[in-house]
Structure 1
């Protein structure tokens, strides 16, 4: 009996993942999820109280992994700032950061896509903004290390850069299906950033 319940629960979660990826949280339907999972609309509520409960079961573990990874990367960047001598070292640190982020996105592309682009109306709708803010802090630390307080122009430039990278990551998750292409697309974004960083250091 327990095995049967687990099998039904897995079917519900699989159907919900497809539904949330297709329609986003706000427009998803518990009735459609139940139909795809092969259970009655009433029976699905024996497993989950509602759409938010089901969304939490699917996305919360990924959200926690994602935020823990970002905070760990930020802490490691701050711990290694003293080793930054010039642009090559800056780029090495940025590339290391991006590679860890890319690996996570490759391994959880469906859930990450839902979290960052399709979670409006849920408890996780601010995840994209949180990603942008952490990337912004990392970029500020790396690009302006040893320069003290930075001015409003520099802060604006870094904020735009962080927002652009986040949008690029989200767009990649929306349109790219193959894991290798996710890595390629995000590394292309990193190359653009690297060119900007090198140009900044010439001035």
Structure 2
């Protein structure tokens, strides 16, 4: 199978995830700007979560550009990633509704950690399918970026026990690492398919 169906399905699931997140933003029962104040934590949680979903969507697109065909293990690894991303609206909603308390922050960190691990497993499945001449393996090398972000999520998870604010800052930093699409893959593809 080619990557077209996999990418179309993933795009649809990600679009639904974003839609679910925005539906969590409830309209206030008032006509003044001050009526929006109680929604600020929910809105900030939405913004961070929207950026995370966007980051995964963008990098997923680049990742699949390295594939010519999809194996069963790639399909399952992709579903694993989509499963964890699908939990992001729930985790973000709980986090925002409870003003960034410790337990909701821990759940949010756990979901991001598992989504990051699932993305890493998807990369590994693609590299195994590509064999020794893997375009992806050459492009990402030792993949310090993925390992650093996973480490940040683990540290954030433990930081929720005593300092939820620090944990939240670490989660934002983890996202900022990936805000710019993975140029390593673009460069790797350019060496294989020069224009």
Q: TM-score surpassing 0.5?
A: no
TM-score normalised by length of structure 1:
0.31
Rg larger in structure:
1
TM-score normalised by length of structure 2:
0.32
